[in-house]
Amino acid sequence: MNVIVIMEDSLRKDHLGCYGNRWIRTPNIDRFASEGIIFDSAYAEGLPTIPVRVSLLTGRYTLPFRGWQPMEQMDVPVAEVLWDKGYTTALISDTYHMHKPRMGFARGFDYVQWIRGQETDPYITDPGVEVDLSRYSGKNWHPAYPGQPERLVQRDFEKCLRNTAHWRGEEDQLIAQVLTAGMEWLERQVSGGRRDRLLLWLDSFDPHEPWDPPSPYREMYAVPDYDGPLITWGGGFIEDWTPAEVRHIRAQYAGKVTLCDTWTGRFFERLGDLGLLDNTLIILLSDHGEPLGEHGIVKKVQPWPYDELSRIPFIVRLPDGEEGGKRLDAFVGMPDVMPTCLDFLGVEGPKVVQGKTVLPLIRGEAEGMSFGVSGFHGRSQSIRNREWSYYEWLGIQMARSVKQKPELYRLDRDFTPPKPAKYQRERDQAERENLIDKEPEMAKSLAQQLKKFIEGLSPSPGDLMAKAYMQRMGAPPG
């Protein structure tokens, strides 16, 4: 048996047809979902990018213990567990944060391929590579955080353009490069006679910004009331944006989602051609969503784990599409991925693993958790059930007005975003009215449940080393 994990960074659940969206074209992921099991209550736990990857690879919760930092020596990632069990493993990724010095995310993998040039990856540093800023709006280098110098944001944006100046076609897009490299690795395994005991971990940074889809994706969702230059990387507080600019960036993001769907479909098609669909578990998910005007921000410029950021797509396809078409409402998340992979392969995991395999949920042998947690280490934490979400603010926030008072919302869990042309700021979000003063008993109950859950999580040796690392580096929490 084989396992393939496909991570597509910043992919909003509510932008996929299989999760209720009716205007963004995602036929390939939707088809995959029809053959798989859709989890409707999947949430990212310890946000954002790097803590999520630690949780994915180790099966442990990170929210109470660590923020953005390298893997620790005492962590036990999934590839190391499989290292002496006869499995051939590969990590292919363009997520350059994982590739930075000392991060250690390649540990245990037999084959590692880093696809370079994503976002501000220091890939092409030649200042002689010309970039043309005339096509782009100044919003691309408008400071997203208070106190951030505009000249430094513009420098980073120019670095992003320099990385992609040599691109000529759709196949140069980074989602295409990652999935093509995954296909080629599988082809090499099959041509060498190996069709079993494979683990392929694909980690794509798309559809994360920059939202720069090529034609025809760029024009698919274009809004008529925006005729200005391109915005592909801008972010910040909503009062600095016009409604037309927000509609434009939403359209750009939607185009990137459809681009990702196209190449994901090509990967699945190649899996079928190679005859690997009948003995492979496939997990498709994202690390988080993306604020696109909701709650007053564009991009992850605040440590606010509202539903548009923390709720994720999570789809599992069993060999031959067994149990295909099933939807489950149990709460699942990042720590559950590693134990699911090991359970499917019949390999015992480390005792420090905190997540639970989702296979008993799929078989109807377990009910799973009735709530999910999410937040930024040292900055925010939240809990939600099927009706309510509750938020606490813990410390440093990069905000013009720092949040201090807890928030409580009645969830509209069927909310899907409107087409960009119909977007109207604060009204178009899943959590609208803060009910903290009207429902104090519900808030108190959820706060107690959140406190009990977090206090019940024991640190691992790696978590204790992480705490020491952060104190040594003098880094703020998160």
CB 39 within 8 A of CB 315: yes
Per-residue model confidence as pLDDT tens digits over 280-311 = 999 999 999 999 999 999 999 899 999 999 99
CA–CA distances in Å: residue 187 to residues 6, 80, 176, 193: 17, 24, 16, 10
364: left (phi over 0), alpha (psi -120 to 50) or beta: left
User: Whole-prediction pTM value?
Assistant: 0.95
Q: Which residues, in sequence order, are bridge partners of residue 389?
A: 384, 409
Task: Tell me the domains of the chain and their CATH numbers.
Answer: 2-473 (3.40.720.10)
* pLDDT higher than 70, residue 453: yes
CA–CA distances in Å: residue 397 to residues 46, 146, 308, 379: 16, 10, 18, 7
CB 274 within 8 A of CB 186: yes
3-class SS shares of the chain: helix, strand, coil, % to 5: 35, 15, 45
Per-residue model confidence as pLDDT tens digits over 142-173 = 988 878 899 999 999 999 999 999 999 999 99
Buried b (16+ CB within 10 A) or exposed e, 95-132: bbbbbeeebbbbbbbeebbbbebbbbbebbeeeeeebe
Per-residue model confidence as pLDDT tens digits over 175-226 = 999 999 999 999 999 999 999 999 999 999 999 999 999 999 999 999 999 9
**Whole-angstrom distance, CA of residue 406 vs CA of residue 404:** 7
**Whole-angstrom distance, CA of residue 179 vs CA of residue 185:** 10
- The reported pLDDT for the residue numbered 404 is 84
**Whole-angstrom distance, CA of residue 214 vs CA of residue 211:** 10
Q: Which residues, in sequence order, are bridge partners of residue 89?
A: 199
Task: Transcribe 88-107 into DSSP letters.
Answer: EEEEEE--HHHHSTT--TTT
